Structure formats: structure tokens, C-alpha cells
Amino acid sequence: MKNLLLTGFGPFHTHPTNPTGEIVELLDDTHIGHWKIHGRILPVVFEEVFPELEKAIEETKPEAVIMTGLAWGRDVISLERVAINCLDSIRKDNKGNEVHDQKIDPDGENAYFSTLPIREMKLTLDQLEIPCEISNSAGTYVCNQIMYLCLKHFAKAHIDLPAGFIHLPPDHGLRPESRWEIKDLSHAVSEVIKVLK
């Protein structure tokens, strides 16, 4: 059995819930395929999010990492291709901080690409008729920040493992017009995990 670190976020901005945090709690300590799932909910705080991820990596010793976040304006599951070295707040974080026109790492690479098999994941979701896309923008908020720093962490350590970020749309409970229920989003995440070797 291999260890997979699955992360999500708690409520932020004006959203009373966050489906990614709920899914992490549902899947934590379960087994999907040959993976044991270790779930962690990360803070929506610029200065705290990566230290918490580092702590989770140290604790769980993962052989794969899937990070998830809420994309309020999207209606499909987005498999993120790339994280860019840019922070530009679309809103304040949960401690009231704003960052504009700033690099995540002043001396870092311009971008890091997901090491998840996103094309195979998309094909799997397509076959299951689960609406999805490959996205070329993880934004410039905390989701992009944590994807960039996670991929940088493994690249600098010369650790070769699948790692990347998936944006999930809001569920029906959070946005009444949404087609998605938590169980549907959880099912989709479980199916992409099965793609990992």
C-alpha cells in the first residue's frame, strides 16, 4: 500500500463551507486502489499554507500528492497543468492579508508543471461522463501558490513523484444552481486517484 497525501482547504472569503475540505475529511484514512489516503486541510493564509504542507509531507511520507481547491467561477473539474511564480490577490486571505504583483519565490523558476498524469486523468473522467477540463491557469491566489511551492519542493529535492493540483467547482449546498453534490465530487477525486500507478 502506497501513501497519498490529499489536501483541501476550509471555508474562506464569504463561503461558509468548502467542498475540498469536506472531501478530504470523507476520504481521509480510506484506501483507493493501492493508495492509502492521508487527508489534510490547509489554511487559506499566504504565510501559513506551505509550512503546513511541509509538515504534512514530513508526517505522511507520500508517494503522490494531490492538492485540491475551490474554483467558485468554474462549473467543471479542472486538472491544473501549471503553477506560475506570481501572487496577486483576488481577495484577502483568511487573516486579512493581500498580496499584489509579487513573486512567490523572487529567485525561483517562472513556472512548474504538474507531474500528475493529467491527460490520462481527463480521459478517465471523460469515459465516466464526469465534466472536466485541463486548465492552464491555477490563478494567482493561494491555490496557485501551494501548487508552485509543492512542485518546487520536490524538484529541488530531486524527488520524482506525481504531484499536482485539481480545482473543484462549488457543490449544490454552497451554490444552489450547481449541478454538483459532494458525493459526485468525491467520486471524481477517487477516480483520478485510481489512475495513479
Task: Report the catalytic residues.
Answer: 80, 143, 167
C-alpha cell at 172: 449544490
Are 80 and 132 a contacting pair, CB within 8 Å? no
Are 104 and 85 a contacting pair, CB within 8 Å? yes
* Cβ count near 96 (within 10 Å): 7
Amino acid at 136: N
**Distance separating alpha carbons of residues 111 and 113, to the nearest angstrom:** 7
* Residue 146 exposed, middle or buried by CB count within 10 Å (0-12, 13-18, 19+): buried
**Distance separating alpha carbons of residues 35 and 29, to the nearest angstrom:** 10
